[in-house]
Amino acid sequence: MSLYTECLGFVAPFYNLALVVVVVLMMIKVLRTPSKKVYVEPWKWLFYAILIFILEEILTVFDASGYNINDLVYPLLETLIISCFIYMLLLQREYVKSKKK
């Protein structure tokens, strides 16, 4: 592994956390819109997935710092994120079906 790859692998979680701060601020703005104008329920589940991603990145930073994180934690967090995405899509599909009637 080259030095560049090692350096990039070390700082990537920090960059991810910095960019997620911007996304969280945008999500808070979306979720504060009046619910009568916008169907926000799927957006709430997207926000939950982003919070789980933040937890995962924080654990990654701790793992890179020397703390021992169990290898089972990361697949469980990924499964939770994917489940939130799937549920979000199902909510949106049901909403679209109810609007067509």
pLDDT at residue 33 tops 70: yes
Tokens coding 2: 């080259």
pLDDT band at 67 (very low <50, low <70, confident <90, very high): confident
Tokens coding 7: 């350096």
pLDDT at residue 75 tops 90: yes
17, 51 contact by CB (below 8 A): no
pLDDT at residue 16 tops 80: yes
85, 47 contact by CB (below 8 A): no
Mean pLDDT value of segment 52-76: 89
- Give the per-residue pLDDT at 31: 80
pLDDT single digits (tens) 1-12: 677 777 777 788
The residue whose two tokens read 């679209």 is 96
**H or E stretch including 95?**
helix 73-100
Tokens coding 74: 């990361």
